[in-house]
Amino acid sequence: MKEDYNDYRITALEKLLSYSLPDIYPIIENIKVTKNDAGLYILIYTNLPDEITGENYWTSDFADNDFSWMKAKWIPHYMKYLGFDQNEFMGMYVYVFKKNGEVIQKEW
């Protein structure tokens, strides 16, 4: 029963993030949340063009989309709202993907 409840909260977190974060980070197109024994994985799919790389991201027009701040501020805020314990997962891993599927940023 506890697994069902946790799965329900993971789905709720995915829906809440998908609904609210694109208003703050307009380049977000889709968000997926999964978990395994290693922790919670938040996969963020954006509309960042191919020419944006990890090296030039912070000097580009997209630099105001700070995903490290999102991981530090917004995701824990929504997790607390849904009743997650801060130590419930071994780790939280955020991957940000460009339009072509390439990982542009990883936050651990």
The answer to whether 61 touches 96, Cβ cutoff 8 Å, is no
Q: What distance in Å separates the CA atoms of residue 18 and residue 97, rounded to the nearest whole number?
A: 15
What is the pTM assigned to this prediction?
Answer: 0.89
Tens-binned pLDDT, residue by residue, of the chain (108 aa): 556 777 889 999 999 999 999 999 999 999 999 998 888 999 999 999 999 998 899 999 999 999 999 999 999 999 999 998 878 888 899 999 999 999 998 888
∠ CA 45-105-13, nearest 5°, is: 50
**Has domain 2-107 been given CATH number 3.30.70?**
yes
- Amino acid type, 79: M
- Amino acid type, 11: T
Write down the domain spans for the chain: 2-107
